Amino acid sequence: MGYYFGMKRAREEIVRLNVEINRLLTFMVDSHVDYYRAVQANIVQNPSLAHILSLEWQHQDRIHESIMQRLAETSKLPGFTGTLSFGVRVNRDKALNMGIPLPSWMLVENPVDTVDMTQNMDIDGRRASSVENDDDLDIPRELDVGTDALVEFIDRISSSD
């Protein structure tokens, strides 16, 4: 029973993580756009503030680059069913993204699949990348029975009462 409920919970978690990865990437890209705009707005009128913002932006970019590397590694795991793409935050003006180049950490190449993440990528188009795993869900099996069949079998037994 522990194996059964573990598999059901793992599937729920995979679905949730597919959503959360896109939300995280959306936040990271929005942060990049906000820093870009803030530095550009202050570079002439308040260069010292623009410099401080630029330093903070560089710090955030290093953190986001590290996160993106981990997400790229995650996308190569067996069973990954999501995409490394970003969306549009609710109530955020889409015009803010016009003319802003993508952050450098979004231009990372996928070393395993050699998918160039720069293809069809701009903030205006909102599509960052689509690194998909073509493999079926490949979860190590402790039993010689397919996990899907086992979960379905137990679901049918429990619902037959």
What distance in Å separates the CA atoms of residue 95 and residue 124, rounded to the nearest whole number?
A: 8
pLDDT tens digits for range 104-148: 888 765 433 323 333 334 454 444 443 333 333 343 434 444 566
Instruction: To the nearest 10°, report the CA torsion of 47, 50, 55, 61.
Output: -150
Of 116, 148, 145, the closest CA to residue 131 belongs to: 116
Helix (H) or strand (E) holding 83: none
pTM: 0.65
- The pLDDT value recorded for residue 98 is 86
What distance in Å separates the CA atoms of residue 23 and residue 86, rounded to the nearest whole number?
A: 7
In this prediction, residue 94 has a pLDDT band, given cuts at 50, 70 and 90, of: confident
What distance in Å separates the CA atoms of residue 161 and residue 157, rounded to the nearest whole number?
A: 8
Q: What angle do CA 128, 88, 13 make, to 5 degrees?
A: 75
pLDDT tens digits for range 64-86: 999 999 999 988 887 788 888 88
Residue 55 has pLDDT above 80, yes or no: yes
What the block records as the tokens of 102 is 């993508």
